[in-house]
Amino acid sequence: MNYVAAQAPAPAVAATPVESRGINDWLMRMHEASRKRSYIGTFVVSSGGAMSSAKIWHVCEGDQQMERVETLTGAPRSIFRHNDQVVTFMPDHKVVRSEKRESLGMFPQLLQSTDNRISDYYKVRQEGTDRVAGVEADIVVLVPKDQMRFGYRVWTEQKKGLVVKLQTLDTDGKVLEQAAFSELQLDAPVKMDKLLHMMGKVDGYRVEKPVLVKTTASAEGWMLKAPVAGFKPMSCYKRPVVAASQAGPAAGEEPLQWIFSDGLASVSIFVEPFDRQRHDKESSLSMGATQTITRQLDAYWVTIMGEVPMTTLKLFANGLERKK
Amino acid sequence: MKPSMQTSELLSALADGQLGGEDFAAALHACGQDDSAITSWDTYHLIGDALRSPASPALPADMAFLARLNQRLAAEPLVGTGLGSRGKSPEPVAGVVHIPIVDASSRHGAAANDGDFRWKLVAGLASLAAVSAIAWNAAGLLAPAAAPQLAQAPASQQVVVASPQGPMVRDARLEELLAAHKQLGGTSALQEPSGFLRNATFETPRNAGR
């Protein structure tokens, strides 16, 4: 089976014999596949005992990528993504949210950069093959090298590397969350101009553009006194309170989101002014792969959230400090 | 009036949280008029519980006990509950509800998020008023879009979400932070291959606004 993949006429990365692919080769291959294939499928996510699903249309034309996601469970949502531009239709509220997601453009720079750390904190292990949504897939496990992060078991389609199934595994290897295509039509005839047209049809909707102000933690007076192994600060935003009423927080107290990543897992630190009425109990909460803890820190209320073990979130919580 | 096919369909939809407007009112009306509608309501919840918890099938509730409890609760005055003070109390439904637990302000400290908080046990008793009142609370109150008015959300905002324990109440504010984390926290090599799809697919609780 291995030599079949090796012989396949495919891009350089795909041509690397399966057994000699390093973690970066695998990740790059998965990434490339998502940028080169068009498909229609049904995607199912099960997390914390709840199950969600959506119908997906994905199309690539040149270096342009477009995706349409129609949720089949929960509140009805149509989400369109054109490169890093994301538009979410909420028909039940007659509201459209339009935003730019910089994180979508960060890869593969993340992987190519000289201080790429993924391979410092994860290793790759192969676990044979399987069939998912009708396609043959290699199973690859991204195994954390320490107890500070979760592992991932990835089913990647054999020919081009499209990710067809993904499990998030806790430190004992137990599945915390699973996402997979239940049905997949590769190389489906999806027309980008048609999706673009749908994405732009906002008649009758109120268009909202979330205001995010880029800042730095340091400028906001925050620091981590001890870095958490492998996690680097990626970005930091303030969310100005729209039309702040008298009851709203004063300027400078706008809630802050400070984002960290180790290349695979992300952690968000939210800081907002402490409010005795609402913030009455420090707690920790686990929802599938996403863990959350809340803490009071002097006059602030801190919520830390991420797809990492609770102990890692606690390191963030203990390390967070108001700059003197 | 025997429950028509339509009534039981209405109640099924109500139990699934899919009713609004006139249908919602009609379902409430049916419950007030008709004991067998209440029986259907309980049955649909039992079915829902059983479907949601394959590991621990719901034990059949003691209907006689529930009936007695409902009677006692119905006799309780509504003084000082969140419903009254909100001036938005649902239509009184004879023999079904009026349960003080809908006072969200007294409960927001209770560990509604805890894994062993069996919201559905409560729902079995008082589901109609409790769940609908909370749904009303949550809908429309949330801050606009992804720029949540983080510091302004009142304490009583709560959202009903699915969980292994059945529908649970979760803090609306936490939902907002979770949404923000999903939106901006996707700095992962797995984001484009599947992280984006995962987050887009991930369920928005039906009544959670955005």
Give residue for tokens 């504010």: B173
Higher pLDDT, B51 or B31: B31
Higher pLDDT, A41 or B94: A41
The per-residue pLDDT of chain A, averaged, comes to 86
> What band does A112 get if pLDDT is binned at 50, 70 and 90?
low
What is the pTM for the complete model shown?
0.66
Higher pLDDT, B84 or A124: A124
**Cβ within 8 Å, pair A264-B190:** yes
Higher pLDDT, A35 or B44: A35
Instruction: Give the whole-angstrom CA distance, residue A78 versus residue A71.
Output: 7
Closest CA–CA distance from residue B115 to any residue of chain A (Å): 9
- When mean pLDDT is compared across A4-13, B99-108, B137-146, B201-210, the lowest value belongs to B137-146
Set of chain A residues whose Cβ sits within 8 Å of the Cβ of B159? none
Percentage, residues of chain B above pLDDT 70: 39
Q: State residue B92's pLDDT score.
A: 39
Instruction: Give the whole-angstrom CA distance, residue A76 versus residue A16.
Output: 42
How many other CB atoms are there within 10 angstroms of residue A142's CB atom?
24
Closest CA–CA distance from residue B166 to any residue of chain A (Å): 9
Q: B-contacting residues of A 173-212, CB under 8 Å?
A: 179, 208-212
Q: Give the three-class secondary structure for B137.
A: helix
Residues in chain A: 324
Set of chain A residues whose Cβ sits within 8 Å of the Cβ of B161? 50
Closest CA–CA distance from residue B146 to any residue of chain A (Å): 5
- Write the pLDDT tens digit of every residue in A269-281: 999 998 888 787 8
- Write the pLDDT tens digit of every residue in B151-169: 333 333 445 554 544 445 5
Higher pLDDT, A271 or B85: A271
Instruction: Give the whole-angstrom CA distance, residue A198 versus residue A75.
Output: 19
Q: State residue B87's pLDDT score.
A: 41
Higher pLDDT, B201 or B64: B201
Q: State residue B81's pLDDT score.
A: 44
Q: State residue B1's pLDDT score.
A: 44
Whether the predicted pLDDT of A195 surpasses 80:
yes
Higher pLDDT, A69 or B9: A69
Closest CA–CA distance from residue A211 to any residue of chain B (Å): 6
The stretch A258-278 carries a mean pLDDT of 90
Instruction: Give the whole-angstrom CA distance, residue A43 versus residue A71.
Output: 9
The per-residue pLDDT of chain B, averaged, comes to 57
Q: Is the peptide bond before B90 cis (omega within 30 degrees of 0)?
A: no
Whether the predicted pLDDT of A6 surpasses 60:
no
Whether the predicted pLDDT of B99 surpasses 50:
no
The distance of Cα A172 from the centroid of its chain, to the nearest Å, equals 22
Whether the predicted pLDDT of B175 surpasses 60:
yes
- Write the pLDDT tens digit of every residue in A181-193: 999 999 999 999 9
How many other CB atoms are there within 10 angstroms of residue B22's CB atom?
8
Q: What is each CA distance from B184 to A86, A101, A235, A239, B150, in whole angstroms?
A: 12, 7, 9, 12, 16
Whether the predicted pLDDT of A11 surpasses 50:
no
Instruction: Give the whole-angstrom CA distance, residue A2 versus residue A298.
Output: 58
Report phi then psi at A132, rounded to 5.
-130, 130
Of these ranges, A11-20, A241-250, B51-60, B87-96, the one predicted with the greatest mean pLDDT is A11-20
The stretch B55-77 carries a mean pLDDT of 64
| Nearest by CB: A179 against B113, B155, B194 | B194
Set of chain A residues whose Cβ sits within 8 Å of the Cβ of B165? 49
Whether the predicted pLDDT of B134 surpasses 50:
no
Whether the predicted pLDDT of A163 surpasses 50:
yes
Q: State residue A246's pLDDT score.
A: 40
Q: State residue B157's pLDDT score.
A: 45
- Write the pLDDT tens digit of every residue in A90-101: 999 999 999 888
Whether the predicted pLDDT of A244 surpasses 50:
no
- When mean pLDDT is compared across A11-20, A241-250, B120-129, the lowest value belongs to B120-129
Which architecture, in CATH terms, is B1-60? Orthogonal Bundle (1.10)
Within chain B, how many helices (H) and strands (E) appear? 9, 2
How many other CB atoms are there within 10 angstroms of residue B155's CB atom?
17
Domains of chain A in start order, with CATH, are 2-206 (2.50.20.10), 213-322 (3.30.200.100)
Higher pLDDT, B46 or A289: A289
Residue A262 and residue A228 in contact, taking contact as beta carbons nearer than 8 Å: no
Higher pLDDT, B200 or A259: A259
Q: State residue B51's pLDDT score.
A: 64
What amino acid occupies position A299? A
CB of A107 less than 8 A from some CB of B:
yes
The stretch A130-135 carries a mean pLDDT of 96
> What are the boundaries of each domain within chain B?
1-60, 62-210
> What band does A205 get if pLDDT is binned at 50, 70 and 90?
very high
The stretch B117-140 carries a mean pLDDT of 35
Residue B128 and residue B41 in contact, taking contact as beta carbons nearer than 8 Å: yes
